[in-house]
Amino acid sequence: MTVRALPAAGRVAVPWKNGGGVTREIVARPEGAGMGEFEWRVSLADVGADGPFSAFADVDRILTMVEGEGMELTVGGEHRRVDTRFVPQRFPGDLPTGCRLLGGPVVNLNVMWHRGAVAAPTVTVAAPGRSLALPAGPAVLVIALDGTAEVAGVSLGRGDAVLLTDEEATLRATGHTAAIALPPRA
């Protein structure tokens, strides 16, 4: 059992693969993997202007808007309106994806994984004032999205995260908080 704190203050903004925005990686496997080498990757991405998302061959995504008024995505020619915060949206990361902002910049929680290499992660967002039982699994990442949270004896401020490995815990959220069940090693 391990509990690994991943404070927001330690994240560095890195340009997107296509240069259209910036992302702050929270955690990836393997640790330190480049953009084409990860099994799975979790980050917070700033979208400041209309334009294309980076394409990733054989990668699927779950995007959860955490700040802003929303965006209209065009994924492989199909339109998808993302205008409600904290609702996970799944789509293929290798289809051409365009973005039109609805009212200024947004910040998205972005979970990506290589299709066929690992199972799909699950993303659950606990509402403020809620508790959520987290089963002991290979890995669960908890991220305080717009307030604070407490899990496994760790207090999280906005943007802070904790990675639990084989640790059963109860999440207590005072703000919206994501719990991401990450797939085991292939």
> For the segment 143-181, what is each residue's pLDDT rounded down to a tens digit?
999 999 999 999 999 999 999 998 899 999 999 999 999
- Spans in the chain with pLDDT lower than 50: none
User: How large is the greatest C-alpha to C-alpha distance in the chain, in angstroms?
Assistant: 46
Structure tokens at 32: 């330190």
Judgement on whether residues 126 and 105 belong to the same structural domain of the protein: no
Residues 89 and 141 placed together within one structural domain of the fold: no
Same domain, 23 and 55: yes
pLDDT of residue 186: 56
Write down the pLDDT at residue 138: 86
Q: 5 in a domain, yes or no? A: no
173 and 137 co-located in one domain = yes
Question: What three-state secondary structure class fits 8?
Answer: helix
Assess if residue 3 is contained within a domain: no
9: which DSSP letter? G
Q: Where are the alpha helices (DSSP H) in 116-160?
A: none
User: Would you state the pLDDT for residue 10?
Assistant: 86
158 and 110, same structural domain?
A: no
For residue 18, give its domain range.
Answer: 11-114
Full-model pTM = 0.94
Q: What is the pLDDT of residue 126?
A: 97
- Looking at residue 10, what DSSP letter applies? G
pLDDT in tens, 74-87: 999 999 999 999 99
CA distance 32 to 35: 10
* Cis-peptide into 30, omega within 30 deg: yes
**Same domain membership, residue 127 and residue 102:** no
Given 114, 130, 161, the domain boundary residue is: 114
The candidate with the shortest Cα–Cα distance to 40, out of 147, 127, 156, 121, is 121
Domains in the chain, number: 2
